[in-house]
Amino acid sequence: MKRKNAPFVALLFLPFLVLILNVSCQYDYASPLPGVLDIRLHTISDSSRICFCPQNNFVLKITQVNVVRSDLAQAVVYGDIKAIKRTTGVYNTVDAHAQDSSLVIGQAALPPGNYLAILMLITPGSTAILDGYRNIPVNTLPTFDPVLTFPSIFKISEQRTTRVVLTINLDSSLVKQTDTFLFNPYYYISSVHYE
Amino acid sequence: MILTHKAAARWLAGFLAALVIIIIGWHCSGKPFVPADIPPITRLSNVPPPDSFIVTKNPRLALNWVGDDPDGYVVAFRYRWSFRLNSGSPFEYKPWSRILNIIVSRFALMTDADENNITNVYKYFATLPPEGLNPDSANGLDAGDTLSIEGARVWASNPRVIRFPVHVNPNSGTFIFDSQDSLNPHTFEVAAIDNQGVVGPAATVSFGTPRVPPPRTQITSSPTDTVLAIDRKTDTFPGIEFQFQGFDPNSRTIDYQWVIDRDLWPPGSIPWSPFSQSTRVSVTAADFPDRYATKHRFYVRGRNEFGSIDTLGYFITPIYNGSTQLIGYDTIWADTTFNTLYPPFLRPGYQQRILILNNSYDWGAAGTPAHPARDTLDGYYRAMFDGIGKNGKYDVFDVIDVNNGAHIFPSLGRIGEYSVIVFIGDVTSFIDDPEWFHQLNPTRAGRLRSYCNVGGKLIISGWNFRFPLNGGETFTHDIGHIESLFGVDAARGNFIGARGDKGYPDVVVDTAKLDTAAWGPGLTRMWPGRPVGFGEIIYRYNARTDPFGLFGNAAIGVRYLGITYDVIFFAFPLYYVQQPAATAAMSKALDDIGELNR
């Protein structure tokens, strides 16, 4: 007996075959959407010594900010979320925005995951200006390491913002000498906030 | 039957063949033959014949060797040498030292691995990737650190911190042999270790080393005047500096140790400093057995690379007239006397004393309010300090030239007795022609500077302090913390007062004290400027006329509250301003430096 419906049967099997091939080609995971890291600078200073006044100025030049993931991979953090490259940022540490932790020094869209630290390459200003007229030279030790490492475990979640506040204590970082300041940075991550 | 015989023959042949194979196999399955390792060979070069004995010129001797292994390769050398403490003592051996037969990143590597493990250590270094040792390990070796390799310690014989290393390669060494006796026999042995850990027979050499004299040491620089000393170094007190130098023709290095007042410490616990190659040292009162003592003796002694220490403390050197004629001998000492003063104002239980140091011109009996006599000015400040409540807590010292009286500038010892110095330079003979003997010359300025450097507190009141009193720009810059802005204000009588800041009251010139006919309605040739460093403006210039706006906001008073000393600088004469404000300004100055309610 001759079977006339064999091509039809083959056509029936074709979708099944395509389905099997697709299943075998499918990744076993889906790529997540990024989260946002928002890094802010906060400065602590005794107002009787160096107040947060418009007449005072001590800048930090930040040339690079990196964030270290738990697998030690590093990602570069730019100045804001729309930036396409990192430019040197100059931040006045005794600016009023630095006092209330609203001075943004970096933003980036990052893969979700656990992160270990933030690395910041800085250059302190050569002088601190007090009361608008006192130019105090700022020196560093020969062993000064311009890479500040802020160790802290934090998490980037998908489509969420992680706000990290880096704190620099100027009372300890700017050591008064006879006629100069010695910049010996004392810094840490003071808070991590998930939004 | 024929077939039967053929079959039997085949079976027999087969059996014999199997038997032969079994027998051969039986022999082949035994222990493999391993030839015995041939020990490596070591040869010393640049040595005298074995039957001779040489005496070196000094305890230092450089030796070279090579090693070879007929059936492998040399992974390391080990060496040691014999010595004895004196001619009556038995010979002893130094422990074996081992050096790997490889150079990695220019380092000659020593190890404490024994013969069983040293090949593993060698292989670690011999199989490094082409880029060599990782930078961290190389830096560690270069800094004199030790690496842990295959359970053994490895360090460089030639890190950068060692100026003259024993080894710079595995085939030579420059050794310093123990040489306590006049003649010290030694036998040096070196043997190669091959890749099987087998140690070959040692190559040996015997020789003698002499005892060498210690280095000679002399002091080349020390304080010549009494110095103020405190018990810690600060930004402004770097310590009291001594410099010295050692001589030893045999030694490549000399290092030094020092102590203050050696004979005043308990015997057996003299705190000699650690040996250092530095030929200068800064000491503080903490190094004295009695920090309040005023007379001290500094001792230094050198040690050469052979460990010989100069304990004599002096040496005698001939003095020649010209080039050949001996005319005598000189004794060069490795100790020197110096004088210090621990400031009384820093001692426990100190009671506050203020010194009013009147450095002004004395118009004598012919004095007027505009040109006051010295006593008048003294009286003005006495009244001021009595008004502040410092009655009985201050002294007045009039700076008088030797030709005009007994006083001169106070000594450092006198200055050190006061917690506050109030330097008065309000009155001059003529503003453009300062009286020469009242100059704040470098010696006098140096005393005030020394006083400040150990923690003093200085208040200055002066009329154009920098120029007529010759307070040099360096002094006013470093100590007064003010520097020139536009030079002096030459407009006649232009200074009519100053606007106070930081809590200081405004001041106005007292026209009753002015020679208005000659001077006009104010003071001339004032020296406004701008603060230096941590100097803060406490007074701004108040000009009668300032058409170009040069002096309007310039500083005419500066406050410096430093980490070691404080200075309040009134760059105008307090005598010539209205007294209530002047007294309030002085009161505020004492308050700023923590001396008002003391």
pLDDT tens track for B514-526: 988 888 899 988 8
The answer to whether position A6 is within a domain reads no
Which among B531, B563, B564 is the nearest to A134, CB-wise?
B531
Q: Indicate the number of domains in chain A.
A: 1
The least confident of A135-139, B101-105, B341-345, B405-409 is B405-409
What are the C-alpha distances in Å from B486 to residues A129, B51, B525, B555?
22, 88, 12, 11
Please state whether beta strands B420-425 and B216-221 pair in parallel, antiparallel, or not at all (unpaired). unpaired
**Nearest-CA residue of chain B relative to A137?**
B533
Decide: B281 and B267 in contact? Cβ < 8 Å.
no
Q: What is the pLDDT of residue A77?
A: 94
Q: What is the pLDDT of residues A68-90, one digit of tens each?
A: 999 999 999 998 888 888 888 89
User: Between the CA atoms of B140, B146, B147 and B151, what dihedral angle is there, to the nearest 10 degrees?
Assistant: -170
**With contacts defined as CB-CB under 8 Å, which chain B residues touch A134?**
531, 533-536
Q: Which helix (H) or strand (E) holds A118?
A: strand A113-124
Residue type at position A110: L
Nearest CA in chain B to A176: B563
**B563 in A contact zone (CB under 8 Å):** yes
Q: How many helices (H) and strands (E) does chain B have?
A: 9, 32
> Whole-angstrom Cα distance, residue A112 to residue A29?
14
Closest of B568, B543, B482, B473 to residue A134, by C-alpha: B482
Task: Kindly report the nearest CA distance between residue A129 and chain B, in angstroms.
Answer: 10
Q: Distance from CA of residue A34 to its chain's centroid?
A: 14
Q: pTM for this one?
A: 0.74
**Cross-chain Cβ contact B536/A131 below 8 Å:** yes
Q: How far apart are CA B381 and CA B359, in angstroms?
A: 13
Query: How large is the average pLDDT for residues B173-182?
Result: 87
Q: Which residues of chain B neighbour A176 with C-beta distances below 8 Å?
A: 534, 563
Residue B242 in this model has a pLDDT that exceeds 60: yes
Give the strands of the sheet with B240-247, arranged side by side.
B216-221, B240-247, B280-283
- Which tops the pLDDT comparison, B179 or A160? A160
Mean pLDDT value of segment B367-373? 92
β-pairing verdict for B203-210 and B54-55: parallel
Vertex B335, ends B330 and B341: CA angle to 5°?
130
**Residue A100 is assigned to a structural domain of this protein:** yes
Query: Distance from CA of residue A135 to its chain's centroid?
Result: 31
B451-494 pLDDT tens trace: 999 999 999 998 876 654 555 678 888 999 998 877 788 888 89
Burial letters A137-149, b for 16+ CB under 10 A, else e: ebebeeeeeeebe
B564 at the A interface (CB within 8 A)?
A: yes
Residue of chain B nearest A131, judged by CA positions: B536
Taking CB atoms and an 8 Å cutoff, what residues of chain B touch A178? Answer: 235-236, 533, 562-564
d(CA B509, CA B463): 12
- Using the Cβ of B168 and the Cβ atoms of chain A, whether some distance falls under 8 Å is answered with no
N- to C-terminal Cα separation, chain B = 142
Range of the domain at A182: 32-194
CB count in 10 Å sphere of residue A104: 17
Strands (E), B112-247: 146-149, 152-156, 172-176, 183-194, 203-210, 216-221, 227-228, 240-247
Give B481 to chain A, closest Cα distance, Å.
Answer: 9
Across the interface, do B532 and A180 touch by the CB < 8 Å criterion? no
Structural domains of chain B in order of their starting residue, each with its CATH number? 41-210 (no CATH), 216-341 (2.60.40.10), 345-592 (3.40.50.880)
pLDDT of B117 higher than 90: yes
CA distance A181 to chain B (A): 10
Q: What is the ipTM of this complex?
A: 0.73
pLDDT at A24: 53
Instruction: With beta carbons less than 8 A apart as the criterion, state whether B455 and B565 touch.
Output: yes
| Contact across the interface for B533 and A131, Cβ inside 8 Å | no
Q: Give the residue from chain A lying closest to B480, CA to CA.
A: A179
When CB atoms are compared, the residue of B535, B537, B563 closest to A177 is B563
What are the residues whose beta carbons fall under 8 Å from the beta carbon of B554, sequence distance 6 or more?
B485, B486, B528, B529, B530, B540, B541
Percent of chain A with pLDDT over 90: 62
Q: Which of B235, B236, B536 sits opposite A134 (nearest CB)?
A: B536
B:518-557 residues touching chain A, CB 8 A cutoff: 530-537
Q: Chain A residue with minimal CA distance to B502?
A: A131
Amino acid A1: pLDDT: 46
Chain segment A1-57, per-residue pLDDT in tens: 445 555 666 666 666 666 665 555 555 667 889 999 999 999 999 888 888 989 999
Which pLDDT score is estimated for B183?
Answer: 87
pLDDT of residue B405: 64
Residue A14 forms part of a structural domain: no
Chain A residues close to B531, C-beta within 8 Å: 133-134
Start-to-end Cα distance in chain A: 72
Grade residue A61 by pLDDT with cuts at 50, 70 and 90.
very high
Percent of chain B with pLDDT over 70: 93
CB contact under 8 A, A178 and B562: yes
Return the structure tokens found at B177: 């042999």
- A135 CA: distance to closest CA in chain B (Å): 6
Question: Percent of chain B having pLDDT more than 90?
Answer: 60
**Domain contains A78:** yes
Q: Do A134 and B236 touch (CB under 8 A)?
A: no
Q: Return mean pLDDT, chain A.
A: 87
Contact: B534, A131; criterion CB under 8 Å: no
Q: Which residue of B has its CA nearest to A50?
A: B534
- pLDDT greater than 80 at residue B450: yes
Query: Are B382 and B367 in contact, with CB atoms under 8 Å apart?
Result: no
CB contact under 8 A, B537 and A177: no
Residue B1 scores a pLDDT above 70: no
State whether B532 and A131 contact (CB < 8 Å). no
Tokens describing residue B259: 């102590």
B332 vs B63: which has the higher pLDDT: B63
The span from the CA of B385 to the CA of A96, in Å, is 44
More confident residue, B505 or B178: B505
A13-22, A38-47, B1-10, B12-21 — which one is most confidently predicted on average?
A38-47
**Whether residue B506 has pLDDT greater than 80:** yes
A20 within domain boundaries:
no
Interface A–B counts its CB contacts (< 8 A) at 28
Q: CB distance from B196 to chain A under 8 Å?
A: no
Q: How many CA atoms lie within 13 A of B172 on its CB side?
A: 12
Mean pLDDT, to the nearest integer, of B557-581?
Answer: 95
**Can you tell me the mean pLDDT for A178-193?**
92
Distance from CA of A179 to the nearest CA of B (A): 5
Mean pLDDT of chain B: 88
**Residue A13 maps to a domain:** no
- Chain A CB contacts of B235 below 8 Å: 177-178
Residue A133, in any domain of the structure: yes
> Is residue A124 a part of any domain in this protein?
yes
pLDDT of residue B468: 45
pLDDT value at residue B413: 87
Report the residue of B233, B234, B235 to disrupt the A interface, i.e. the one with the largest count of A CBs within 10 Å: B235
Pairing of strands B529-531, B216-221: unpaired
